[in-house]
Chains A and B, each alone.
Chain A
Amino acid sequence: MDEKTPIIEVENLSKTFGLLPVLRSVNFGVARGETIVLLGQNGGGKSTLLRLLAGLSKPTAGLIRIGGWQMPKEAMEVRRQIGLVSHQSLLYGNLSARENLDFFGKLYGMAKDERAERIRVILDQVGLAKRADSLARDFSRGMQQRLSIARALLHQPEILLLDEPFTGLDQSAAERLEGLVMSAQREERTLIMTTHQLGRAPTLAGRALILSRGQIAFDGNIARMSAASLGELYAGLCGGATVA
């Protein structure tokens, strides 16, 4: 595939739950290796959009193409390319960190030796190597979030979707997580991240999409924007903003 061809293409995407429209005619493309933050109010459709991109939900109308494959019809072809960090941990509390990763490694068809090596590397990367055999339920929220990122990166996906990854983290856990996100950027992964922390957005991404009432109200460069001006823009589009 051509480097300039967007790895993610979304055309006229709509999603309705019952009679309630959550997304209305959403259009955007994401280039390979690009990082995007998705901003918007609660219930604005951010998580729904990520679930649609991950192939966990079906669009009511419109088209999603990932790496040229149409979702969700050809989702099986792109599942290996996608990693998702949800606001839920997606981990088994009764399994250790290593056992959790081993299970998901098996689901991604990784061979035993490859799995063991990859688990060692990724646990080291997220700073959980020493707690590899501790049960996930005994982890703090920050450690669970790091383990979730390890799970999402285990199979080395090209696209990483992060749904409010900073929620509930203290300052030091958030900084550690920010480091992991930046290291994923250095590895040239394509990142789409939802967040309510407007202050963090310009540091993490060059581009932002602001969803308002199920539509894209802003799609542009925020790399040179200050947190305050992004806050003003957000408040103008969505009404009311907190710059965290």
Chain B
Amino acid sequence: MKTPFRTAVLAIVSKDLRAEIRSRELLSVMAIFAFLCILVFSFALELDRVAREEAISGVLWVTLVFASLLGFNRSLAQEGDQGNLDAMLLAPVSRPAIFLGKLLSNYLFTLIVALVILPLMTVIYNSNLLRGWLIVTTVVGVFGFSSIGTLLAMMTLHTRSREAMLPIAMLPVALPLLLTAVRASTNLLNDSPTREWLVWLQLLAAVTVIYLALCWLLSGFVLEE
């Protein structure tokens, strides 16, 4: 008899939250990296004000993607280092429940970082990023990245150089997400007409749903040997 799906997912999320509150291993690394990334881009683009304004959404998403990669790697390493993933796989829990539990934890941590860097970029780049629809775009996009990142981090967990393997595996796969997220954000920041950014936001949502469905279906195969 299987453990109820919801019980397993909540157990994994609450375990990850508890461990993170205690160690702050993930959030601190992700936040510091994101902060440094924003600063480096800011200095690099300082001389060209126009280029700087046009690059804001690119900087936002590149920062988020790389910070999330660090987080996904670390989050899954915590499961792999002492064989904890095996302990979860031994339990009568469906594989998609393990995937969803890890996905929700990773999503929560990445979202916290995203919600910290939006006001930070507002100050550093002197451009208002705290707009309702931009926050919605971030919330949706981060979910898409978290889905694909969690699955690929599970796949690369036992590879020899997993820190290098995850970006190599994830970046090409995540391109449709990155493209639609940057387009939607750029149009929002340029105050373009609604139809111009909405179509990209809808596309981002569609790609996110497709990726989530694919990751869900593949999680069973990935988690089994």
A binding-site residues for B, Cβ under 8 Å: 54-58, 72, 76-77, 79-80, 82, 84, 86, 88-95, 99, 103-104, 106-109, 135, 151
Contacts and interface: CB of A to CB of B under 8 A. Distances in A.
Interface stretch (B63-71, B90-98, B119-127): B90-98
A89 B87 CA distance: 9
A109 B7 contact: yes
Max chain A C-beta neighbours (<10 A), residue from B4, B23, B78, B82: B82
Given A88-B82, A90-B82, A93-B82, A104 B87 contact: yes
B221 to A, nearest CB: 11
A103 B11 contact: yes
Contacts, number: 83
Contacts of A92: 15, 19, 78, 82, 84
Interface residues of B: mostly helix, strand, loop or mixed?
helix
Interface in B82-108: 82-84, 86-94
B84 A90 contact: yes
Contact of A79 (B11, B78, B90, B225): B90
Contacts of B90: 54-56, 79, 82, 84
Given A58-B224, A92-B82, A107-B92, 6 more contacts: A56-B225, A79-B92, A90-B82, A91-B84, A92-B78, A93-B82
Contact of B7 (A55, A88, A106): A106
B8 interface: yes
Contacts of B192: none
Contacts of A82: 90
Given A58-B224, A88-B82, A92-B82, A107 B19 contact: no
A95 B79 CA distance: 13
Interface residues of B, number: 29
Contacts of B8: 106-107
A68 to B, nearest CB: 16
Nearest to A99: B18
B2 interface: yes
Contacts of B224: 58, 72
Contacts of A104: 87, 91
Contacts of A95: 15, 18-19, 22
B128 interface: no
B15 A108 contact: no
Contact of A56 (B2, B89, B93): B89
23 contacts: A55-B90, A56-B86, A56-B89, A58-B224, A76-B92, A76-B94, A79-B92, A88-B82, A90-B83, A91-B82, A92-B15, A94-B78, A95-B15, A95-B22, A104-B87, A106-B3, A107-B8, A107-B91, A107-B92, A107-B93, A108-B3, A109-B2, A109-B92
B1 A80 contact: yes
Given A80-B92, A86-B86, A107 B18 contact: no
Contacts of B88: 107
Nearest to A144: B82
Given A56-B225, A99-B18, A103-B11, A108 B82 contact: no
Contacts of B10: 106
A103 B18 CA distance: 11
Interface string B7-33: 110110001001100110100000000
